[in-house]
Each structure stands twice: as C-alpha cells, then as structure tokens.
Structure 1
Amino acid sequence: MSRTQNSAHSTQTLKFLYSYGGKILPRRSDGKLRYIGGFTRVLSIDRFISFSELMVKFGELSGSSMSLRCKLPIEDLDVLVSITCDEDLADVIEEYGRVSALTNQEIKIRALLSPINLQKKISPPSSPMSCLDFPTSNVKPGKVGSFYSPPAYAAAHRCSSPALGLSGRDTERRPGTSLSFLWTRKH
C-alpha cells in the first residue's frame, strides 16, 4: 500500500485499545492509576461506526453486554467519560483526532468496558397478563381511562394483548418517550 493510500485508509479507520475484566488500581510506587488484570485488546473499526454497532462488537468480543467508558487523550484513568450514544462517541473520536493531528501520530482510543449491572434480578411474569393489573373503572365506553406506562422489564407484547382490549390502534408512540398505552373499557 502506498503512503497516500495508507494515509487515506487510516483516516477511515480508528483503533480502540480496550480492556475488560480487570480493575483500576493505584500503582504502589507513585499512586498513578493503572488498569490491572483482565484482558486488553485492540479493535480496528470504521471511523463512522454507530454507538450501537460498536457496542454489539464489544459485546461479541467480551462475551456479555458492557458499558463503555473512554479515557480522554491527555488525561489519566481518573477521568473517564461514559459513552452512551452516537454523540458521545463522535465527541471522543473528534478529541482523539485533534490530538492525533497535533502530534502527527495515530493514537488509539483507550476504552474500558464494564459489565452492565442489573440493580435487581427480575423474573418473568408467571402468566402473559400478569404485568397488567387494571383496577375496575367506571369510565364510559370510548373515553380514555388512563395512561399506562409498562415497567422497563415488562415485555411490550405482553402489555398489548388483544385479550385486554388493547390493539395496535389503541397505542400511541410519542417521540423521545417509551411506549404509552391508552386503554378504554370495552363492553
């Protein structure tokens, strides 16, 4: 590959130096934070990858769902930025690109993966309709009785059962919000 082709190729890809399964601990000699244990790997990706695609790759490589934190190029491990969306990812890529341009060196993005901790384990409902417990209502047919927002762990298909009188036409999706279900009392 010629120098110009190599340069063009490097602008389209970037490398993550990612670690998982270890801990951040201070070094005994000077107290500077270091990542100890676990695994450290390099992942070369397309510069324009989406956050969700990147997290799928990290999940496949690490064997589980992970959260992503990145070290800023001029900071130590005591300053980590949580990456949770495309915008966060683009900001980190831009920051590393800026430092790479100043130093005239391609710098790997330093990333730490942590397992996603579920605050409490939730078992599935015992029956398909157990996620809804509607009180009896005196609402006249055809009037909106209430809004129902299913809990985060409830499967949406369980909460939109035709047996409950809810169908696709009874649901409303608002941009930027979770699904809300309108229900009406059927006679």
Structure 2
Amino acid sequence: MSRDGGKTPTTTTTIKFLCSYGGRILPRYPDGKLHYHGGETRVLSVERSISFAELLMKLGEMCGTSLVLNLRCQLPTEDLDALVSITSNEYLANLIEEYDRVAPPPAPPSLKIRAFLSAPKTTKKVSPPPSTTSPKLSYSVAAMLLPKMPETHWRRPFLPSRPPPAGVLTTRWRNSTVCLY
C-alpha cells in the first residue's frame, strides 16, 4: 500500500528461467507433439537487468560446467519446434519484452521463461590418425564389410572360369572366391 492508501502496481525486478539441460527434445508417441525428455530442469531467478554474459555465467554455474552453452528459449505462444537462440543482450531484451507483452498485467511476478541449454556443436572435423595397420588387418575389415551370401552359396564353391587379372587379391571366404580390387 502506498501513503495515499491506494495500491501500488506489482512490478518485479526479477524474472525466472525454467532451464532444462542434459536431455533431448523428442516427439511424444501418441500425438507427435514435442517434449523435453531426460536431463535436469532447474529454476534460475535473475534480475531483469542482467546481461547476456552474466546470464550465461549463472547458467553454467547452475549446470556445473565452465563450457560455453547454447541458450535457446521458447516464445510464450510457440511450441518446442520454434525455439529462439539467444546470443546477445539485444536478443535477451527482446525475449523478455515478448514475455511482458503476452503476459497479462498481474502475471509478470510469476513469469517463467522456458530455456534449453546445450553444448555447442563443434564445427571442427577431427581426422583419424594415420593407419599403421597391416594388409592382413585391412583384409579382415574388408571381409567384414562384404555382404553376406545366402546359405545356398556357402555350400557350393564358386569357381571362376578363368583366373583373375594380375594384381587382384583373391581368397576363399565361406567356400567362395572373393576378389578384392
């Protein structure tokens, strides 16, 4: 109550983020609607004036990680298939403004922004170390990759009518001759 006896408007200086991390967004079986499965969900209350960098730091502390996180938030009128990536102070301010615009006047104290945290996808391609395998090991891998033949072919050997060209490795595999080019 104010001095003049009238009620003061309820304005809050904090907002709450309902943060989910460590899980995945998957379609629900009966209706196909997306939902968050697994992981942890926590509530983080912060000042409205928080910067994007400070928010990421607090979210990292909450998750127990020092890694840079991707922050994606659900708009108040949208489903999980239309998440917005928050990457700067401007995007964060726009998100809060959107929630304020949609929420009726008494609702801002209970305002919770649905947020999803994930580790960034790496764009580096890691190449495997140079192979020092022997030809025998390479042959074993090649033999495993060959398609399986029906059992009828296992019993009667396939004999080529003429020998393979020079430089072609041949071997017997399940009573069949296999040519590796």
> Fold conserved (TM > 0.5)?
yes
Q: Name the CA distance, whole Å, in 2 between partners of 1:26 and 1:18.
A: 19
- The yes-or-no answer on 1:46 pairing with 2:77 is no
Cα deviation code 1:69-126 (max 9, x no counterpart): 0000000000000000000000000001111236x4232101000112333389xxxx
Structure number with bigger Rg: 2
RMSD value, Cα: 2.4
Q: How does 1:29-178 map to 2 (within 5 A)?
A: 29-64=30-65, 65=67, 66-101=69-104, 104-106=106-108, 107-120=111-124
Q: Name the CA distance, whole Å, in 2 between partners of 1:81 and 1:26.
A: 19
Large movers: runs of 4+ above 3 Å: none
Deviation at 1:63, TM superposition (A): 2.1
Query: Which amino acid is the alignment partner of residue 122 of structure 2?
Result: L
- Aligned partner of 1:164 in structure 2 is none
Structure 1 residues 48 and 28: alpha-carbon distance in aligned structure 2, compared to 1, 3 A threshold: same
Structure 1 residues 115 and 5: alpha-carbon distance in aligned structure 2, compared to 1, 3 A threshold: farther
Q: Choose between structure 1 and 2 for higher RCO, CA contacts under 8 A separated by at least 6 residues.
A: 2
User: What secondary structure is seen at the aligned counterpart in 2 of 1:7?
Assistant: coil
Q: Once structures 1 and 2 are overlaid, which stretch shifts more, 36-45 or 56-65? A: 56-65
Query: Which amino acid is the alignment partner of residue 118 of structure 1?
Result: T
Q: Name the CA distance, whole Å, in 1 between partners of 2:77 and 2:32.
A: 18
Unmatched 5+ stretches in structure 2: 127-181
Q: Name the CA distance, whole Å, in 1 between partners of 2:9 and 2:48.
A: 15
TM-score (norm 2): 0.60
Q: Name the CA distance, whole Å, in 2 between partners of 1:68 and 1:35.
A: 15
User: What secondary structure is seen at the aligned counterpart in 1 of 2:81?
Assistant: coil
Q: Name the CA distance, whole Å, in 1 between partners of 2:102 and 2:38.
A: 28
Seq. identity, %:
58
Unmatched 5+ stretches in structure 1: 123-187
